[in-house]
Amino acid sequence: MWSFIHKLGSPRWFYAISARLMPWFWVAAALLIAVGSVWGLAFAPADYQQGNSFRIIYVHVPAAFLAQSVFVGMAVAGLVFMVWKIKVADMAAAMMAPLGAAMTFIALFSGAVWGVPTWGTWWMWDARLTSMLILLFLYLGVIALRGAFASRDSGSRAASVLAMVGVINIPIIKYSVDWWYTLHQPASFSVTSRPTMPLEMWAPLLIMVLGFYCFFIAVTLMRTRSEILRRESNKRWVRDLAVEGR
Amino acid sequence: MPHEARGLQARQDASRTGEPGGGLAVAFWATLKRDLVLLLRRRSEVLNPLVFFALVITLFPIGISPDPELLATIAPGLLWVAALLAALLSLDSLFRGDYDDGSLEQLLLTPQPLPLLVLAKVAVHWLLTGLPLALMAPVLGILLSLPVGSYGVLALSLALGSASLSLVGAIGAALTVGLSRGGVLLSLLVLPLYIPVLIFGAGAVQAAILGDGASAHLAILGALLALALMLAPWAIAAALRISING
Protein backbone atom coordinates (compact mmCIF):
# COMPACT_ATOMS: atom_id res chain seq x y z
CA MET A 1 0.00 0.00 0.00
CA TRP A 2 2.65 2.53 1.07
CA SER A 3 5.01 1.61 -1.71
CA PHE A 4 2.12 2.10 -4.14
CA ILE A 5 1.54 5.61 -2.78
CA HIS A 6 5.24 6.38 -2.99
CA LYS A 7 5.30 5.21 -6.57
CA LEU A 8 2.25 7.33 -7.29
CA GLY A 9 4.17 10.28 -5.91
CA SER A 10 6.78 10.00 -8.61
CA PRO A 11 5.66 11.86 -11.72
CA ARG A 12 6.83 9.09 -14.00
CA TRP A 13 4.80 6.41 -12.22
CA PHE A 14 1.81 8.64 -11.94
CA TYR A 15 2.02 9.24 -15.66
CA ALA A 16 2.09 5.50 -16.37
CA ILE A 17 -0.64 4.53 -13.89
CA SER A 18 -2.98 7.36 -14.85
CA ALA A 19 -2.69 6.31 -18.50
CA ARG A 20 -4.34 3.05 -17.54
CA LEU A 21 -6.94 4.58 -15.21
CA MET A 22 -8.02 7.55 -17.28
CA PRO A 23 -9.96 5.74 -20.04
CA TRP A 24 -12.13 3.98 -17.45
CA PHE A 25 -13.10 7.26 -15.84
CA TRP A 26 -13.85 8.83 -19.21
CA VAL A 27 -16.08 5.89 -20.18
CA ALA A 28 -17.80 5.91 -16.78
CA ALA A 29 -18.32 9.67 -16.94
CA ALA A 30 -19.73 9.56 -20.47
CA LEU A 31 -22.07 6.66 -19.66
CA LEU A 32 -23.30 8.04 -16.34
CA ILE A 33 -23.84 11.58 -17.63
CA ALA A 34 -25.58 10.29 -20.77
CA VAL A 35 -27.88 7.97 -18.82
CA GLY A 36 -28.49 10.50 -16.06
CA SER A 37 -29.29 13.42 -18.33
CA VAL A 38 -31.58 11.46 -20.66
CA TRP A 39 -33.38 9.90 -17.69
CA GLY A 40 -33.52 13.15 -15.76
CA LEU A 41 -34.49 15.43 -18.63
CA ALA A 42 -36.86 13.16 -20.56
CA PHE A 43 -38.25 10.41 -18.32
CA ALA A 44 -38.29 11.64 -14.74
CA PRO A 45 -41.75 12.96 -13.75
CA ALA A 46 -42.29 16.70 -13.64
CA ASP A 47 -42.45 18.32 -10.22
CA TYR A 48 -46.03 19.04 -9.09
CA GLN A 49 -45.10 22.58 -8.00
CA GLN A 50 -42.21 23.62 -10.19
CA GLY A 51 -43.16 21.77 -13.37
CA ASN A 52 -40.34 21.05 -15.72
CA SER A 53 -38.11 23.82 -14.41
CA PHE A 54 -37.00 21.58 -11.56
CA ARG A 55 -34.92 19.60 -14.08
CA ILE A 56 -32.15 22.17 -13.67
CA ILE A 57 -31.42 20.24 -10.50
CA TYR A 58 -29.66 17.61 -12.60
CA VAL A 59 -26.93 20.13 -13.41
CA HIS A 60 -27.19 22.42 -10.40
CA VAL A 61 -26.77 19.91 -7.57
CA PRO A 62 -23.89 17.88 -9.08
CA ALA A 63 -22.02 21.10 -9.89
CA ALA A 64 -22.56 22.41 -6.35
CA PHE A 65 -21.38 19.09 -4.87
CA LEU A 66 -18.28 19.16 -7.00
CA ALA A 67 -17.58 22.83 -6.27
CA GLN A 68 -17.26 22.06 -2.58
CA SER A 69 -15.44 18.74 -2.83
CA VAL A 70 -12.89 20.10 -5.30
CA PHE A 71 -11.87 22.73 -2.75
CA VAL A 72 -11.42 20.04 -0.11
CA GLY A 73 -9.50 17.93 -2.62
CA MET A 74 -7.31 20.90 -3.43
CA ALA A 75 -6.58 21.51 0.25
CA VAL A 76 -5.76 17.82 0.83
CA ALA A 77 -3.44 17.85 -2.18
CA GLY A 78 -1.86 21.01 -0.76
CA LEU A 79 -1.34 19.33 2.61
CA VAL A 80 0.23 16.28 0.94
CA PHE A 81 2.50 18.59 -1.02
CA MET A 82 3.53 20.62 2.03
CA VAL A 83 4.12 17.64 4.32
CA TRP A 84 5.62 15.01 2.03
CA LYS A 85 6.87 17.30 -0.77
CA ILE A 86 5.12 15.21 -3.40
CA LYS A 87 5.19 17.30 -6.53
CA VAL A 88 2.39 15.42 -8.28
CA ALA A 89 0.01 16.50 -5.52
CA ASP A 90 0.80 20.13 -6.22
CA MET A 91 0.35 19.64 -9.95
CA ALA A 92 -3.04 18.07 -9.30
CA ALA A 93 -3.99 20.95 -6.96
CA ALA A 94 -2.98 23.48 -9.58
CA MET A 95 -5.10 21.72 -12.16
CA MET A 96 -8.10 21.34 -9.85
CA ALA A 97 -8.45 25.03 -9.00
CA PRO A 98 -9.79 26.34 -12.35
CA LEU A 99 -12.10 23.34 -12.64
CA GLY A 100 -13.49 23.96 -9.17
CA ALA A 101 -13.99 27.63 -9.96
CA ALA A 102 -15.80 26.65 -13.16
CA MET A 103 -18.06 24.25 -11.25
CA THR A 104 -18.84 26.95 -8.69
CA PHE A 105 -19.74 29.30 -11.49
CA ILE A 106 -21.95 26.66 -13.13
CA ALA A 107 -23.72 26.03 -9.83
CA LEU A 108 -24.27 29.78 -9.34
CA PHE A 109 -25.41 30.34 -12.91
CA SER A 110 -27.77 27.36 -13.02
CA GLY A 111 -29.11 28.46 -9.63
CA ALA A 112 -29.75 31.95 -11.00
CA VAL A 113 -31.56 30.54 -14.04
CA TRP A 114 -33.59 28.28 -11.76
CA GLY A 115 -34.41 31.23 -9.57
CA VAL A 116 -36.33 32.99 -12.33
CA PRO A 117 -39.28 30.54 -12.54
CA THR A 118 -39.30 29.59 -8.84
CA TRP A 119 -38.41 32.76 -6.91
CA GLY A 120 -39.13 35.23 -9.70
CA THR A 121 -35.67 36.76 -9.58
CA TRP A 122 -32.16 36.05 -10.81
CA TRP A 123 -30.45 36.66 -7.55
CA MET A 124 -31.38 36.57 -3.89
CA TRP A 125 -29.04 37.20 -0.99
CA ASP A 126 -29.86 33.79 0.25
CA ALA A 127 -27.48 31.94 2.54
CA ARG A 128 -26.43 29.20 0.17
CA LEU A 129 -26.13 31.44 -2.85
CA THR A 130 -24.01 33.79 -0.81
CA SER A 131 -21.70 31.10 0.54
CA MET A 132 -21.32 29.73 -2.99
CA LEU A 133 -20.36 33.20 -4.20
CA ILE A 134 -17.79 33.45 -1.41
CA LEU A 135 -16.46 30.04 -2.43
CA LEU A 136 -15.98 31.39 -5.96
CA PHE A 137 -13.97 34.30 -4.54
CA LEU A 138 -11.86 31.87 -2.51
CA TYR A 139 -11.10 29.88 -5.67
CA LEU A 140 -10.18 33.05 -7.54
CA GLY A 141 -7.89 34.05 -4.65
CA VAL A 142 -6.05 30.71 -4.75
CA ILE A 143 -5.65 30.91 -8.53
CA ALA A 144 -4.48 34.53 -8.40
CA LEU A 145 -2.01 33.87 -5.58
CA ARG A 146 -0.44 30.95 -7.42
CA GLY A 147 -0.02 33.09 -10.51
CA ALA A 148 1.43 36.07 -8.65
CA PHE A 149 4.73 34.47 -7.68
CA ALA A 150 7.68 34.57 -10.04
CA SER A 151 9.03 31.29 -8.66
CA ARG A 152 6.74 28.35 -9.23
CA ASP A 153 7.71 26.61 -6.02
CA SER A 154 6.80 29.60 -3.84
CA GLY A 155 3.54 29.99 -5.71
CA SER A 156 2.72 26.33 -5.13
CA ARG A 157 3.41 26.49 -1.43
CA ALA A 158 1.57 29.77 -0.94
CA ALA A 159 -1.46 28.41 -2.79
CA SER A 160 -1.34 25.27 -0.62
CA VAL A 161 -1.35 27.30 2.58
CA LEU A 162 -4.21 29.46 1.32
CA ALA A 163 -6.21 26.39 0.29
CA MET A 164 -5.79 24.92 3.77
CA VAL A 165 -6.75 28.19 5.44
CA GLY A 166 -9.75 28.36 3.13
CA VAL A 167 -10.89 24.85 3.88
CA ILE A 168 -10.92 25.58 7.62
CA ASN A 169 -12.91 28.72 6.91
CA ILE A 170 -15.48 27.23 4.56
CA PRO A 171 -17.59 25.59 7.30
CA ILE A 172 -17.35 28.75 9.43
CA ILE A 173 -18.47 30.90 6.51
CA LYS A 174 -21.23 28.43 5.67
CA TYR A 175 -22.68 28.36 9.17
CA SER A 176 -22.35 32.08 9.75
CA VAL A 177 -24.08 32.82 6.47
CA ASP A 178 -26.79 30.29 7.35
CA TRP A 179 -27.31 32.12 10.60
CA TRP A 180 -27.39 35.41 8.74
CA TYR A 181 -30.27 34.73 6.41
CA THR A 182 -31.86 31.78 4.69
CA LEU A 183 -34.47 31.30 2.03
CA HIS A 184 -33.09 28.37 0.05
CA GLN A 185 -34.97 25.09 0.17
CA PRO A 186 -33.30 22.64 2.55
CA ALA A 187 -30.77 20.26 1.05
CA SER A 188 -32.68 18.05 -1.33
CA PHE A 189 -30.02 15.43 -1.49
CA SER A 190 -27.99 13.89 1.25
CA VAL A 191 -26.14 10.63 1.61
CA THR A 192 -27.11 10.03 5.21
CA SER A 193 -30.84 10.70 5.31
CA ARG A 194 -33.78 9.32 3.36
CA PRO A 195 -34.40 11.22 0.13
CA THR A 196 -37.27 13.69 0.22
CA MET A 197 -38.14 13.13 -3.42
CA PRO A 198 -39.46 10.05 -5.21
CA LEU A 199 -37.03 7.49 -6.55
CA GLU A 200 -37.76 8.35 -10.19
CA MET A 201 -36.43 11.87 -9.60
CA TRP A 202 -33.73 10.90 -7.16
CA ALA A 203 -32.03 8.05 -9.04
CA PRO A 204 -31.05 10.12 -12.09
CA LEU A 205 -29.70 12.77 -9.76
CA LEU A 206 -27.48 10.22 -8.04
CA ILE A 207 -26.29 9.01 -11.45
CA MET A 208 -25.54 12.59 -12.50
CA VAL A 209 -23.59 13.26 -9.31
CA LEU A 210 -21.50 10.13 -9.85
CA GLY A 211 -21.04 11.06 -13.50
CA PHE A 212 -19.82 14.55 -12.58
CA TYR A 213 -17.34 13.07 -10.11
CA CYS A 214 -15.99 10.65 -12.74
CA PHE A 215 -15.75 13.52 -15.19
CA PHE A 216 -13.84 15.57 -12.64
CA ILE A 217 -11.41 12.74 -11.92
CA ALA A 218 -10.85 12.09 -15.62
CA VAL A 219 -10.24 15.76 -16.42
CA THR A 220 -7.91 16.17 -13.42
CA LEU A 221 -5.91 13.10 -14.46
CA MET A 222 -5.67 14.35 -18.01
CA ARG A 223 -4.62 17.86 -17.04
CA THR A 224 -2.18 16.59 -14.42
CA ARG A 225 -0.58 14.35 -17.05
CA SER A 226 0.03 17.23 -19.39
CA GLU A 227 1.29 19.34 -16.48
CA ILE A 228 3.75 16.55 -15.63
CA LEU A 229 5.04 16.60 -19.19
CA ARG A 230 5.34 20.36 -19.09
CA ARG A 231 7.18 20.58 -15.77
CA GLU A 232 9.37 17.54 -16.33
CA SER A 233 10.12 18.35 -19.96
CA ASN A 234 13.86 18.35 -19.33
CA LYS A 235 13.86 14.87 -17.75
CA ARG A 236 15.17 11.98 -19.72
CA TRP A 237 12.02 9.82 -19.55
CA VAL A 238 9.91 12.60 -20.99
CA ARG A 239 12.40 13.10 -23.81
CA ASP A 240 12.40 9.36 -24.50
CA LEU A 241 8.64 9.50 -24.60
CA ALA A 242 8.75 12.35 -27.06
CA VAL A 243 11.21 10.47 -29.26
CA GLU A 244 9.03 7.36 -29.17
CA GLY A 245 5.98 9.39 -30.05
CA ARG A 246 7.75 10.84 -33.03
CA MET B 1 32.84 19.02 16.76
CA PRO B 2 33.96 21.13 19.69
CA HIS B 3 32.32 24.33 18.52
CA GLU B 4 28.86 22.78 18.22
CA ALA B 5 29.30 20.94 21.48
CA ARG B 6 30.19 24.17 23.20
CA GLY B 7 27.16 25.88 21.72
CA LEU B 8 24.93 23.05 22.90
CA GLN B 9 26.49 23.22 26.33
CA ALA B 10 25.92 26.95 26.46
CA ARG B 11 22.32 26.52 25.46
CA GLN B 12 21.74 23.87 28.11
CA ASP B 13 23.34 26.13 30.69
CA ALA B 14 21.17 28.97 29.58
CA SER B 15 18.00 26.91 29.79
CA ARG B 16 18.99 25.71 33.24
CA THR B 17 19.45 29.26 34.46
CA GLY B 18 16.15 30.40 33.10
CA GLU B 19 17.70 31.70 29.88
CA PRO B 20 17.68 35.43 30.65
CA GLY B 21 18.56 36.51 27.11
CA GLY B 22 16.19 34.40 25.08
CA GLY B 23 13.19 33.10 26.99
CA LEU B 24 9.83 32.92 25.29
CA ALA B 25 8.29 35.75 27.27
CA VAL B 26 11.36 37.93 26.83
CA ALA B 27 11.34 37.42 23.10
CA PHE B 28 7.60 38.10 22.93
CA TRP B 29 7.88 41.34 24.89
CA ALA B 30 10.95 42.44 22.95
CA THR B 31 9.18 41.99 19.62
CA LEU B 32 6.07 43.70 20.96
CA LYS B 33 8.04 46.66 22.27
CA ARG B 34 10.14 47.00 19.14
CA ASP B 35 7.10 47.05 16.85
CA LEU B 36 5.24 49.46 19.11
CA VAL B 37 8.17 51.88 19.14
CA LEU B 38 8.65 51.61 15.39
CA LEU B 39 4.99 52.28 14.67
CA LEU B 40 4.69 55.10 17.18
CA ARG B 41 7.59 56.84 15.46
CA ARG B 42 5.64 56.80 12.20
CA ARG B 43 2.43 58.30 13.51
CA SER B 44 0.93 58.93 10.10
CA GLU B 45 0.79 55.20 9.47
CA VAL B 46 -1.26 54.81 12.63
CA LEU B 47 -3.49 57.75 11.81
CA ASN B 48 -4.15 56.94 8.15
CA PRO B 49 -6.62 54.08 8.74
CA LEU B 50 -8.54 56.25 11.20
CA VAL B 51 -8.79 59.12 8.72
CA PHE B 52 -9.80 56.65 6.04
CA PHE B 53 -12.52 55.28 8.34
CA ALA B 54 -13.91 58.78 8.97
CA LEU B 55 -13.75 59.66 5.28
CA VAL B 56 -15.58 56.56 4.11
CA ILE B 57 -18.29 57.14 6.70
CA THR B 58 -18.61 60.72 5.43
CA LEU B 59 -19.13 59.46 1.88
CA PHE B 60 -22.20 57.39 2.69
CA PRO B 61 -24.64 60.13 3.76
CA ILE B 62 -23.50 62.12 0.74
CA GLY B 63 -23.94 59.17 -1.60
CA ILE B 64 -27.15 57.71 -0.19
CA SER B 65 -29.22 60.24 1.72
CA PRO B 66 -28.80 62.52 4.73
CA ASP B 67 -32.09 61.22 6.15
CA PRO B 68 -31.32 60.25 9.79
CA GLU B 69 -33.87 57.42 9.87
CA LEU B 70 -32.46 55.73 6.78
CA LEU B 71 -28.91 56.21 8.02
CA ALA B 72 -29.78 54.74 11.40
CA THR B 73 -31.04 51.52 9.82
CA ILE B 74 -27.89 50.96 7.78
CA ALA B 75 -25.41 52.43 10.27
CA PRO B 76 -24.29 49.12 11.90
CA GLY B 77 -23.35 47.58 8.58
CA LEU B 78 -21.75 50.76 7.26
CA LEU B 79 -19.61 51.24 10.35
CA TRP B 80 -18.51 47.64 10.32
CA VAL B 81 -17.71 47.52 6.60
CA ALA B 82 -15.82 50.81 6.75
CA ALA B 83 -13.81 49.70 9.80
CA LEU B 84 -13.05 46.40 8.10
CA LEU B 85 -11.77 48.19 4.99
CA ALA B 86 -9.68 50.55 7.13
CA ALA B 87 -8.12 47.58 8.92
CA LEU B 88 -7.49 45.94 5.55
CA LEU B 89 -5.77 49.07 4.28
CA SER B 90 -3.17 48.93 7.04
CA LEU B 91 -2.42 45.23 6.59
CA ASP B 92 -0.02 45.59 3.70
CA SER B 93 2.50 47.45 5.87
CA LEU B 94 2.35 44.80 8.62
CA PHE B 95 5.41 42.89 7.38
CA ARG B 96 6.44 45.17 4.50
CA GLY B 97 8.94 47.34 6.39
CA ASP B 98 10.58 44.37 8.08
CA TYR B 99 10.75 42.57 4.76
CA ASP B 100 12.39 45.51 3.01
CA ASP B 101 15.09 46.12 5.61
CA GLY B 102 15.81 42.45 6.21
CA SER B 103 14.78 42.27 9.86
CA LEU B 104 12.06 39.78 8.93
CA GLU B 105 14.80 37.32 8.00
CA GLN B 106 16.37 37.86 11.40
CA LEU B 107 13.03 37.15 13.00
CA LEU B 108 12.87 33.86 11.10
CA LEU B 109 16.36 32.93 12.24
CA THR B 110 15.76 33.44 15.96
CA PRO B 111 15.69 30.27 18.07
CA GLN B 112 12.29 31.21 19.52
CA PRO B 113 9.22 29.75 17.80
CA LEU B 114 8.15 32.01 14.95
CA PRO B 115 4.38 31.72 15.61
CA LEU B 116 4.87 33.38 19.00
CA LEU B 117 6.91 36.28 17.62
CA VAL B 118 4.42 36.74 14.83
CA LEU B 119 1.67 36.86 17.41
CA ALA B 120 3.46 39.80 19.04
CA LYS B 121 3.56 41.64 15.71
CA VAL B 122 -0.13 41.00 15.12
CA ALA B 123 -0.90 42.16 18.66
CA VAL B 124 0.81 45.46 17.91
CA HIS B 125 -1.18 45.79 14.69
CA TRP B 126 -4.39 45.29 16.64
CA LEU B 127 -3.33 47.70 19.40
CA LEU B 128 -2.60 50.49 16.94
CA THR B 129 -5.27 49.79 14.30
CA GLY B 130 -8.13 47.67 15.58
CA LEU B 131 -8.41 49.21 19.01
CA PRO B 132 -8.32 52.86 17.84
CA LEU B 133 -10.90 52.02 15.17
CA ALA B 134 -13.12 50.50 17.84
CA LEU B 135 -12.73 53.56 20.05
CA MET B 136 -13.45 55.91 17.18
CA ALA B 137 -16.49 54.05 15.86
CA PRO B 138 -18.99 55.44 18.43
CA VAL B 139 -18.09 59.00 17.38
CA LEU B 140 -18.83 58.15 13.77
CA GLY B 141 -21.93 56.34 14.99
CA ILE B 142 -23.23 59.68 16.23
CA LEU B 143 -22.73 61.12 12.75
CA LEU B 144 -24.85 58.30 11.32
CA SER B 145 -27.45 58.81 14.08
CA LEU B 146 -26.97 55.31 15.40
CA PRO B 147 -29.66 54.64 18.02
CA VAL B 148 -28.63 55.31 21.61
CA GLY B 149 -27.69 52.26 23.64
CA SER B 150 -25.74 50.46 20.95
CA TYR B 151 -22.53 52.48 21.20
CA GLY B 152 -20.91 50.26 23.80
CA VAL B 153 -21.72 47.13 21.84
CA LEU B 154 -20.38 48.75 18.66
CA ALA B 155 -17.03 49.50 20.29
CA LEU B 156 -16.84 46.12 22.00
CA SER B 157 -17.76 44.14 18.89
CA LEU B 158 -15.20 46.07 16.84
CA ALA B 159 -12.50 45.55 19.46
CA LEU B 160 -13.18 41.81 19.58
CA GLY B 161 -13.74 41.40 15.86
CA SER B 162 -10.79 43.47 14.69
CA ALA B 163 -8.46 41.16 16.62
CA SER B 164 -9.68 38.27 14.47
CA LEU B 165 -9.39 40.49 11.41
CA SER B 166 -5.76 41.28 12.27
CA LEU B 167 -4.95 37.60 12.78
CA VAL B 168 -6.62 36.37 9.60
CA GLY B 169 -5.40 39.34 7.61
CA ALA B 170 -1.83 38.72 8.73
CA ILE B 171 -1.96 35.35 6.93
CA GLY B 172 -2.72 37.17 3.69
CA ALA B 173 -0.12 39.85 4.42
CA ALA B 174 2.51 37.17 5.07
CA LEU B 175 1.62 35.37 1.84
CA THR B 176 1.89 38.52 -0.27
CA VAL B 177 4.81 40.29 1.43
CA GLY B 178 7.29 38.96 -1.11
CA LEU B 179 5.29 40.30 -4.05
CA SER B 180 6.04 43.81 -5.21
CA ARG B 181 2.40 44.64 -5.92
CA GLY B 182 0.60 42.56 -3.35
CA GLY B 183 -1.96 45.15 -2.25
CA VAL B 184 -4.95 44.28 -4.42
CA LEU B 185 -4.20 40.57 -4.25
CA LEU B 186 -4.09 40.84 -0.46
CA SER B 187 -7.64 42.17 -0.33
CA LEU B 188 -8.80 39.49 -2.76
CA LEU B 189 -7.38 36.80 -0.48
CA VAL B 190 -8.47 38.23 2.83
CA LEU B 191 -11.93 39.71 2.28
CA PRO B 192 -13.77 36.39 1.80
CA LEU B 193 -12.27 35.18 5.07
CA TYR B 194 -13.54 38.31 6.84
CA ILE B 195 -17.20 37.57 6.17
CA PRO B 196 -18.02 35.56 9.34
CA VAL B 197 -16.56 38.31 11.54
CA LEU B 198 -18.55 40.94 9.63
CA ILE B 199 -21.78 38.97 10.00
CA PHE B 200 -21.50 38.57 13.74
CA GLY B 201 -20.01 42.00 14.36
CA ALA B 202 -22.71 43.89 12.49
CA GLY B 203 -25.23 41.41 13.90
CA ALA B 204 -24.21 42.29 17.45
CA VAL B 205 -24.89 45.99 16.84
CA GLN B 206 -28.21 45.21 15.14
CA ALA B 207 -29.23 43.03 18.08
CA ALA B 208 -28.31 45.79 20.53
CA ILE B 209 -30.47 48.27 18.58
CA LEU B 210 -33.41 45.88 18.52
CA GLY B 211 -32.95 45.22 22.23
CA ASP B 212 -32.37 41.49 21.78
CA GLY B 213 -29.14 41.53 23.73
CA ALA B 214 -25.90 41.19 21.87
CA SER B 215 -24.22 38.69 24.17
CA ALA B 216 -24.75 35.73 21.82
CA HIS B 217 -23.14 37.56 18.93
CA LEU B 218 -20.30 38.81 21.09
CA ALA B 219 -19.75 35.28 22.39
CA ILE B 220 -19.43 33.97 18.84
CA LEU B 221 -17.03 36.80 18.00
CA GLY B 222 -15.00 35.69 21.00
CA ALA B 223 -15.12 32.08 19.80
CA LEU B 224 -13.91 33.14 16.35
CA LEU B 225 -11.10 35.06 18.00
CA ALA B 226 -10.14 32.04 20.10
CA LEU B 227 -10.02 29.85 16.99
CA ALA B 228 -8.01 32.44 15.07
CA LEU B 229 -5.59 32.85 18.00
CA MET B 230 -5.07 29.11 18.05
CA LEU B 231 -4.55 28.47 14.33
CA ALA B 232 -3.57 31.70 12.58
CA PRO B 233 -0.05 32.12 14.09
CA TRP B 234 1.03 28.82 12.55
CA ALA B 235 -0.37 29.74 9.16
CA ILE B 236 1.29 33.17 9.34
CA ALA B 237 4.63 31.60 10.27
CA ALA B 238 4.39 29.08 7.43
CA ALA B 239 3.42 31.83 4.99
CA LEU B 240 6.36 34.01 6.08
CA ARG B 241 8.80 31.15 5.54
CA ILE B 242 7.40 30.68 2.02
CA SER B 243 7.67 34.39 1.25
CA ILE B 244 11.23 34.66 2.52
CA ASN B 245 12.63 31.53 0.92
CA GLY B 246 10.92 32.11 -2.41
Fill in the amino acid letter for B95.
F
CA A98/CA A140 separation, integer angstroms: 8
Is the per-residue pLDDT at B5 higher than 50? no
Fill in the amino acid letter for B162.
S
Mean of the per-residue pLDDT values of chain B: 87
Asked if the Cβ–Cβ distance from A173 to B203 is below 8 Å, we say no
3-state secondary structure of A47: strand
Which pLDDT value is given to residue A124?
Answer: 79
Q: How far is B30 from chain A (nearest CA, A)?
A: 28
Domain ranges of chain A: 63-200
Q: Which helix (H) or strand (E) holds A57?
A: helix A57-84
Name the more confident of B13 and A55: A55
CA A193/CA A57 separation, integer angstroms: 18
CA B246/CA B234 separation, integer angstroms: 18
- The mean pLDDT value for B220-240 works out to 94
What's the pLDDT tens digit per position in B111-123? 889 999 999 999 9
Which pLDDT value is given to residue B2?
Answer: 46
Which pLDDT value is given to residue B14?
Answer: 47
What are the pLDDT tens digits along chain A (246 aa)?
A: 667 666 667 888 888 888 889 999 999 999 999 998 888 888 877 776 777 778 888 889 999 999 999 999 999 999 999 888 888 899 999 999 999 999 999 999 998 888 888 878 888 777 778 889 999 999 999 999 998 888 888 889 999 999 999 998 888 888 887 777 654 455 555 545 555 677 777 888 899 999 999 999 999 999 999 999 888 888 888 888 888 876
In a domain, B12, yes or no: no
Asked if the Cβ–Cβ distance from A154 to B224 is below 8 Å, we say no
Which pLDDT value is given to residue B22?
Answer: 64
CA A29/CA B104 separation, integer angstroms: 50
In a domain, B215, yes or no: yes
Which pLDDT value is given to residue B21?
Answer: 54
Size of interface A-B (CB pairs under 8 A): 78
Asked if the Cβ–Cβ distance from A154 to B246 is below 8 Å, we say yes
Q: How far is B131 from chain A (nearest CA, A)?
A: 24
Angstrom distances, CA of residue A114 to CA of A49, A132, A133:
13, 15, 16
What's the pLDDT tens digit per position in B58-102? 999 999 888 888 998 899 999 999 999 999 988 988 998 899 898
B191, B192, B239 member nearest A158 (Cβ): B239
Chain A residues whose beta carbon lies within 8 Å of the beta carbon of residue B193: 165-166, 169, 173
- Using a CB–CB cutoff of 8 Å, tell me whether A196 touches chain B: no
Which pLDDT value is given to residue A183?
Answer: 46
For this complex, say whether ipTM is above 0.95: no
In a domain, B181, yes or no: yes
What's the pLDDT tens digit per position in A181-201? 654 455 555 545 555 677 777
Lowest mean pLDDT among A48-52, B16-20, B159-163, B213-217: B16-20
Is the per-residue pLDDT at B19 higher than 70? no
User: B186, B178 in Cβ contact below 8 A?
Assistant: no
Chain B residues whose beta carbon lies within 8 Å of the beta carbon of residue A176: 195-196, 199-200, 220
Residue B153: domain span: 24-245
B175, B196, B200 member nearest A145 (Cβ): B175
In a domain, B119, yes or no: yes
CA B103/CA B113 separation, integer angstroms: 16
Which pLDDT value is given to residue A143?
Answer: 93
Asked if the Cβ–Cβ distance from B189 to A145 is below 8 Å, we say yes
Which pLDDT value is given to residue A107?
Answer: 92
CA B181/CA B152 separation, integer angstroms: 38
- Using a CB–CB cutoff of 8 Å, tell me whether A161 touches chain B: yes
